[in-house]
Structure 1
Amino acid sequence: MATETDTALVRPGIAQLFLGFLLLGLTGFGGVLPLARRMMVEDRRWLSPAEFSDLLGLCQFLPGGNIINMSVAVGLRFRGAAGAVAALLGLIAAPTAIVILLGTIYDQYYDDPQVRHFFAGLAAAAAGLLIAVSVKIAVPLRGKWPGIGVACAGFLAIAILRLPLLPTMLVLAPLSILAHVRLAR
């Protein structure tokens, strides 16, 4: 297995994009972001940790699901429109079929207390995965105080003050870009 310190990145083909995102869609059902980072950065070495964090920031800013945006962006980056389509189809094909099947089953048993407890346990596990990936995504910001400040401001605005996401991003994105440009000089 590759480590995050490996410098040689791999340029995936269309089949690799499809299969990588298909596996991701199957194994990361419901909480795919931590697994997406592991697949793209650590295992397959398609992106560096910093590139993943940058691309995730863009994908979070765009409307729609983060991982769906990420699959399209990664596919587009490496293989153009065909890569974007392959990555997107790989990501959504199996989960779509599984959701339809499970939705049909859940519709019949939603009043069962054991089913409710099962979903409460899944929610707790998903929260833990989200915290773990948040820490990994923040590592490239180590020592970059303006970026850390913007991240903390975003957390404060959305998680604590419960401000709407879009206005918060419209304020913080230009501030983050300005800080990055000033540091690059």
Structure 2
Amino acid sequence: MSFSSQIYISRWALFKAFFKMGVSGFGGVLPWARLVLVDEKRWLTDREFAERLGLSQVLPGPNIINLAVGFGAQHHGAVGALLAAGGLLSAPLVIVLSLATAYQHLGHHVLVGRALDGVAAAAAGMMLAAGIKLLLALPRQGWRWGVCGVALLGLVAWHWPLWALVLCLGPVGIWLDRRTDLTTRN
């Protein structure tokens, strides 16, 4: 796993990028994070994003916050970590507090419930699309697809808790990746 820091990103650009993710990604920031960091800004490759996301999922706390803190810290130390996390969280905080206040007064209306159902469906679709893009970014090796398949079955069909999947499949994935590296070098 290697994270390149060859490019210079100003503090303002860092804050703006994560602010955009926070505003755009209401209900799920991950697809927007990939879109901004990989497709728009080209600050990360697909593989670097997938590696960072994998590391962020193993750490305690929200994945996207972990990713923001790590990315910001890499480019501007503690200040960068605060800027990225602050950019990501500031707009959603204001939006959520405003919506919570409005929901107290309007939550009993049928149209509000239907609107929330529509937003949830759109967020689920975006998460699925981001997952597929991450899967397609993986090197084409059968064992990687197998680990993804077992993880998907574990979560969806067998209802395993995420912590159990990480504890079981994490070491397997690391071992298989190291083994693949060793065999390709020889």
Q: How far, CA to CA, are the matches of 1:166 and 1:68 in structure 2? A: 18
Measured after TM superposition, the shift of residue 78 of structure 1 is 1.9
1:99 is matched with which residue? 96
2: CA distance, partners of 1:44 / 1:82? 20
- In structure 2, the residue matched to 1:20 is 17
In 2, Cα distance between equivalents of 1:11 and 1:52: 17
Residues 123-162 of structure 1 aligned to structure 2 (within 5 Å) = 123-162=120-159
Instruction: Name the counterpart of 2:3.
Output: none
Task: Give the Cα separation in 1 of the matches to 2:10 and 2:141.
Answer: 34
- Cα distance in 2 for partners of 1:137, 1:10 equals 23
Deviation at 1:142, TM superposition (A): 4.4
Q: Is the 8 A contact 2:27 2:120 kept in 1?
A: no
Q: 1:86 aligns with which of 83, 86, 105?
A: 83
The residue number in structure 2 matching 1:73 is 70
TM-superposed deviation, 1:76: 1.5
Q: How does 1:113-128 map to 2 (within 5 A)?
A: 113-128=110-125
Letter in 2 for 1:101: S
Match of 2:176 in 1: 179
Structure 1 length as normaliser, TM-score? 0.91
Q: 2:30 aligns with which of 17, 30, 33?
A: 33
Paired residue type of 1:22: F
Structure 2: gaps spanning 5 or more residues: 1-5
- SS of 1:29's partner is coil
Q: Name the counterpart of 2:106.
A: 109
SS at 1:124's partner residue? helix
Query: Offset at 1:161?
Result: 0.3
- Alignment partner for residue 166 of structure 1, among 159, 163, 166? 163
The one-letter code matched in structure 2 to 1:13 is: S
TM-score computed with the length of structure 2 as normaliser: 0.91
Measure, in 2, the Cα distance between the counterparts of 1:169 and 1:11: 33
Q: Which one-letter code corresponds to 1:133 in the other structure?
A: A
Shift of 1:29: 1.4
Count of matched residue positions in the alignment of Structure 1 and Structure 2: 177
Q: Report sequence identity in percent.
A: 38
